[in-house]
């Protein structure tokens, strides 16, 4: 190992490759307690794929990787030959992993759901209002010394109170974002998802009833029959879907044209869900249309011209970027590896909080292919 690598607990019997140093210390401590030696890449850039292959060597029990590490069939084959059993992704998303190949190789694949739900939803809310109220434009206006006094038509934005919110993807983050917007701003709601979210629908019905009982107009909601219907009727659209072949360029030129002239589009899921070039062209042609983006199609690069468009707010993929969240993502990713190496059963609850305190359950927090690998379910 060269100077770009840091060795933690060198006496540990199990060897774990970590492709980026992570926030906090607790995740390192639980690895040490599980008799693991960590070899942590500390370079300023992404670990090159060739170096990851080389780092695995002839003995590696597991990898704690990042969303930019391509966990391909070739990498999995190298890991298996080195005696590896698990690849734990420091992310809730896993489009960087060939999950089918991992299952064929007998490699367990972990991720880190639960702990980044509200954090990412809050960032989506932040992008929403930054776009709606032209916060970035206003900040630049002030810093450039352009403000000479109050004007009735200065930087007019969009009022979202009682407007219609469209959610594409009603999973944990999507529904958390929706609740923040619906409860906070009494927005009507449409959602599109391949699966009905019965619990979410019960919440929406009860909230509408609550408003009625308070003498207020209840919100209206429905599960949309199509993405196109949702796009046409919504004033605000937020994307919360995984990246799959079916969601790549889900929002393309034709669908952007379906949206209202002054609609707002927010994406905190994965960049390629939007055809970024089409978005650039659309925003240029429709100056009252606004977007808030945290993810990009060719990340970290932007589509040509995107950085010059004032009606788009750009953030550098920090949806889960709070210290509490990133530390606990590291802890869950570590416990995935430790649990597999110890032969623990798979956790079957959505709640990850039991793993964040002392004496976590003797279970693996989140293994995406647990059923396919025949890992038993935790019975506690």
Q: Which residues participate in catalysis according to the annotation?
A: 270, 299, 317
What are the DSSP E strand ranges found in the chain? 5-8, 14-18, 36-41, 62-65, 86-89, 108-110, 164-168, 188-192, 221-223, 236-239, 264-267, 290-293, 312-314
Which pair of tokens denotes residue 186?
């009494």
For residue 75, what are the CA distances in angstroms to 96, 139, 358? 12, 46, 34
3-class SS of residue 99 = helix
Q: What single DSSP character describes residue 68?
A: T
Which pair of tokens denotes residue 111?
């991720």
Compute the half-sphere exposure of residue 188: CA atoms within 13 Å on the CB side of its CA: 14
How far apart CA 239 and CA 248 sit, in angstroms, is 12
Count CB-CB contacts under 10 A for residue 374: 8
Beta bridge partners of 301: 298
User: What is the spatial order of strands in the sheet that 14-18 belongs to?
Assistant: 5-8, 36-41, 14-18, 62-65, 86-89, 108-110
Q: Judge contact between 333 and 112, C-beta under 8 A.
A: yes
């Amino acid at each position: 190992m060269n100077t770009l690598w840091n060795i933690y607990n060198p006496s540990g019997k199990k060897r774990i490759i970590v492709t980026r140093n992570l926030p906090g210390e607790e995740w390192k401590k639980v690895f040490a307690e599980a008799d693991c030696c960590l070899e942590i890449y500390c370079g300023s850039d992404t670990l090159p794929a060739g170096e990851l292959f080389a780092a695995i060597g002839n003995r590696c029990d597991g990898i704690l990787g990042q969303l930019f590490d391509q966990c391909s069939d070739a990498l999995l084959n190298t890991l298996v030959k080195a005696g590896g059993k698990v690849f734990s992704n420091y992310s809730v998303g896993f489009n960087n992993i060939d999950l089918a190949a991992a299952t064929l190789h007998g490699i367990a694949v972990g991720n880190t759901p639960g702990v980044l739900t509200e954090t990412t939803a809050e960032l989506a809310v932040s992008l929403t209002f930054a776009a709606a109220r032209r916060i970035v434009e206003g900040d630049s206006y002030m810093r450039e010394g352009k403000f000479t006094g109050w004007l009735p038509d200065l930087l007019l934005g969009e009022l979202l109170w009682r407007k219609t919110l469209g959610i594409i993807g009603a999973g944990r983050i999507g529904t958390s974002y929706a609740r923040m917007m619906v409860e906070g701003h009494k927005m009507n709601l449409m959602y599109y998802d391949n699966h009905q979210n019965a619990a979410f629908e019960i919440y929406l019905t009860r909230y509408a009833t609550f408003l009625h009982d308070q003498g207020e107009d209840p919100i209206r909601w429905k599960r949309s029959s199509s993405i196109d219907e949702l796009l046409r009727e919504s004033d605000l659209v937020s994307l919360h879907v995984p990246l799959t072949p079916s969601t790549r360029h889900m929002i393309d030129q034709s669908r952007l044209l379906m949206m209202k002239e002054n609609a707002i589009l927010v994406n905190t899921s994965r960049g390629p869900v939007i055809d970024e070039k089409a978005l650039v062209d659309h925003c240029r042609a429709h100056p009252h249309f606004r977007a808030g983006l945290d993810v990009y199609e060719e990340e970290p690069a932007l589509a040509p011209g995107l950085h010059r468009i004032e009606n788009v707010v750009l953030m550098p993929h920090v949806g889960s970027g709070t210290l509490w969240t990133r530390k606990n993502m590291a802890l869950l990713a570590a416990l995935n590896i430790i649990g597999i190496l110890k032969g623990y059963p798979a956790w079957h609850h959505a709640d990850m909080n039991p793993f964040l305190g002392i004496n976590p359950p003797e279970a693996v927090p989140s293994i995406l292919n647990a059923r396919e690998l025949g890992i038993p379910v935790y019975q506690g």
